[in-house]
Structures are given as structure tokens and as C-alpha cells.
Amino acid sequence: MTDLRIIKAFAKGLLTFIPGVAQLLTRKKRTSKHSGSIAEFCYTLWLSLLVHFEENGVSPDFETVGELGSGGSVGVGICALLTGTKQYFTLDIEDHYDKENNLKLLSEIVSLLRNKTRIPSSYKQINIKISKYDYPSHLISPRFMDNAFIDELRNEINDYCLGTKHLIILYDWYKKPALKLDMVFSRAVMEHVNDPYSVYKNLSFHLKSGAFSFHDIEFHSHGITKNINGHLDINKAFWAIIYGRRPYFLNRWTLKDHINALEDLNYYLIYIDQNIATENDPLNENLVGATILSKYG
């Protein structure tokens, strides 16, 4: 039976060969809201990361942190800085910055922290596995109680965080001198970059020896096919048309591809959690996503 979703994806990809269409599709994504625009989501993601690191034997005391592909939201960065991180870099390739929403995020995240809000377990799109959802006070430095510091962050957000002291947005980060990060992470990004190997390599340049990386990667077809991993079976030439001329879309790297790349680039794998769609699937034919925690150098 013909998968109508593939036909639709093929037609859409074909349209991107018309000058200007690929840019229009990108612009549509830029103006749409995403989970990073929600304070509780950013709060959940950051605190879950802290707990996940601790539960896997890593002290989450990171002075410098990099986030790959923030989508214009500095919400996770706000959480990090309010809980002890000294500098936070968002590593992007396009300007999606939303100043008004980021100012709103600052106020709402301060409230969540001051209320010692329990880590919500309702965000199923966050694949970070933790066993405890209590407010992790022992992992948090209470900078969120410092009104002067909050004013500093507010001023930086007003200035688009460019070249400032705490929050720094870089759109050409891969060309910059080494940032000397203690940790870098991404969520639902590495499945969309054109060349994951180059991204991992560029990130490693900015990591201190002994720094940590965490990547939450999705492997499903993103609705292109009915089957969860049906996009992997599409003919290479046919897939090239579906991809079209978009600057980023969906690569077809498998979990094994990511693991091989990381190991080749001197990352030591600490923990891999696979999110399987169906039980009894030893070949990972229905792999929805996975998280990879590793140490560099």
C-alpha cells in the first residue's frame, strides 16, 4: 500500500527547488512557538539534566555550559545561571531570538525556583531518565534570590545577550576561539544537522579535557512515513528530493552512527538510554530516540 505521507513529503521537498521556497519554510518554523518558550519546560529540562548527571556519577558543577540549537530561547540558560553556572553559551546558526518571551521566561523561572517547585514529570518529550523528581536543593546555588543578579540577566536579555558577561549567543560558534566549556548539551537537534560528525568535531574544539556532553536524539521519521523508522528505507535518490534544498531537515543517522562518531572523536561513553517504541525489539527497528552521556578527552 502506498504511503501517502511519503508522497506529500516528496512534493514538499520538490517545491524547495523553486527559488525562495526553502527560505519560506525556514521562516515559518522561525515564527512558530516551541517547547523552549515555556518556562516550566526549560525548568524541567535543566533540573532533570542536573539530576541525571548526579545519578550517573557525574558532579553537575558546571561553570561554563553550551547549548546547541536553542531555537531562540535562553530559558534553559536562565535556569542554569540562576542555579550556579557562571557563563552560558547558546550555539546556533540562525537568529530566532525572541526578546519579549525571554524576559517573560526570566520572571517565571525565578518564581519556579523560589517556590522550590518539584520537577514536573509531565513532559514526555524530555527523554532524560531520572529516578527522583523532588526539588534538588543540594545541586542548586540559590543565585535566584539575588535581585541584583536578576537585574543583570534582565539587562543582558534586553541587549540580545550578544557579547555580554553571563548569557552569550553565538551564531558562528564553530569559527570562534575555544570557549572552554565544562559541559555541552542538545535536545532534538542532532537528528536535524546535515553533518553530525562535523558538529561533534566542532563541539569538541570548545570542550575542556574531561568536559561532558549530553545529547537527546530522536530517530523516528517525524511523520514522513507511517512506520516509526520508515524513512530509513527510502531510496537514496528519492530521499535527496524529499530533503530538498532546506538548510536543515532530517538526517538518517542511526544510534550506531552517533556512537561511532563520538568514539572516533575521543568521547568516552558513560551512559546510553534507548527509547524503544515496542517491547521485544533487540534490533532497535522501532527506536524512537536515545540519550547519550559522554566525557571528552
Please write the tens of the pLDDT for every residue from 91-146.
998 888 999 999 999 999 999 999 999 999 988 889 899 999 999 999 999 999 99
Structure confidence by residue, pLDDT tens digits, 58-68: 999 999 999 99
Predicted TM-score (pTM) of the model is 0.91
Alpha helices in 16-98, H assignment, sequence order: 21-31, 39-55, 75-82
- Residue 280 has what pLDDT? 58
On the CB side of 209, CA atoms within 13 Å amount to 1
Separation of alpha carbons 46 and 19, rounded Å: 40
Angstrom distances, CA of residue 100 to CA of 36, 154, 157, 203, 214:
13, 11, 9, 29, 29
The pLDDT assigned to 95 comes to 86
Q: Which residues of 99-126 are buried (b: 16+ CB within 10 A; e: fewer)?
A: eebbeebbebbbebbeeeeebeeebeeb
Task: Please state, for a pLDDT cut of 90, what percent of the chain lies above it.
Answer: 72
Question: Which CATH number applies to 33-296: 2.40.128.50, 3.40.630.10, 3.50.50.60, 3.40.50.150?
Answer: 3.40.50.150
Rounded to 5 degrees, what are φ and ψ at 4? Answer: -65, -25
Quote the longest CA-to-CA distance of the chain. Answer: 63
- List the chain domain ranges: 33-296
Average pLDDT rounded to a whole number, residues 194-200: 96
Task: Return d(Cα 103, Cα 109) in angstroms, integer.
Answer: 10
pLDDT in tens, 226-271: 888 899 999 999 999 999 888 889 999 999 999 999 999 999 999 9
